[in-house]
Amino acid sequence: MPWDKIKLNDGSEIPSIAFGTWKLGKGDDGTGFVEQALDAGFSHIDTAQAYRNEEEAGRAIRESGLSREEVFITTKYSGSDGKDIEDSIKDSLENLGVHYVDLYLIHGPSLARPDIPTAWEQFEGLKGAGLAKSIGVSNFNVKELTILLNSAKIKPTVNQIEFHPYVYQQQKPILDFAKEHGIVIEAYSALEPITTRPGGPVDKPLKKIAKSKGVAEEQILLAWAKAKGTVVVTSSRRKGRLERYLDAGNIELSEQDIKAIDEAGARGAVAYRIRDWGKRCACVAAVGAFVLGMSYLSGVELY
């Protein structure tokens, strides 16, 4: 199956793979990378106030020759420069050069000021005013989603979260809660097991499955995220990789393939927790040794 559109709980549809502009920077390079993604076949651009490149994304979309309706635009309220929600959406629309965005997200629960119900009510107002076709959140956990839903007149359509095999078990309660309430999960950092955590337990099943299908390992990771029902947000500065990412929509994984990746991810999650715990202990020990050393040199006795 290709990267089909997914229906949201407000009746809108969202392309199930997006090109993310985080880390792409500003200026001509930022514009060029978005243009390249659109040329490769992406129809969903994911940006944010905090990325500082909405203007570049908007310029690329306008220069692509595609109509406004052909490109799904997501941006996020990040509270940048101390601006409130109303001023932020106006700035984002101006930067992007559009009259509305397809999806507007609260970038994180700490940005929902003065509280989640109040901030969400303002988001509902933006949808009512036609400034955002759909509204949602990012990085919300089950408790925070529950607080939102208890006062919401309009449900969030999506929750964009970190999602890859090493955090799957940790994030699964959010997935289950979202499914129960008709909220689509968007997955960022889906390629982290091979981009920033290579050498972990997931490598083995990835290599085996990729070899058996004659595809790249990153394509298997994207196919895994797709199989979990998520909208994948990914990025690359290389057109060839972007084309492979799009081709990954045609890869079907067996239940056995998915299970092997899930289990390897769970083992890796434990290993990374142990490693992080060890690093914290080493840091505490180093600080302790430093304090004791300084007390000895200064003649101060510690009790």
Q: Is 168 a catalytic residue?
A: no
Q: Check whether 99 is labelled as a binding-site residue.
A: no
The per-residue b/e assignment along 184-210, b for 16 or more CB within 10 angstroms, e otherwise, is bbbbbbbbbbbeebeebbbbebbeebb
Distance, in Å, from the CA atom of 164 to the CA atom of 99, rounded to the nearest integer, reads 34
* 3-state class (DSSP) for residue 119: helix
* CA-to-CA dists, residue 244 to 32, 61, 127, 252, 299, angstroms: 19, 22, 35, 15, 64
Among all chains, which residue has been given the structure tokens 């979260």? 161
* 3-state class (DSSP) for residue 142: helix
Q: Which of 51, 77, 104, 188 is catalytic?
A: 51
* CA-to-CA dists, residue 232 to 81, 85, 216, 249, angstroms: 29, 26, 17, 10
Closest CA to 73 of 45, 41, 49, 98: 45
Query: What residues form the annotated binding site?
Result: 107
Active site residues: 51
Binding site feature residues for substrate: 107
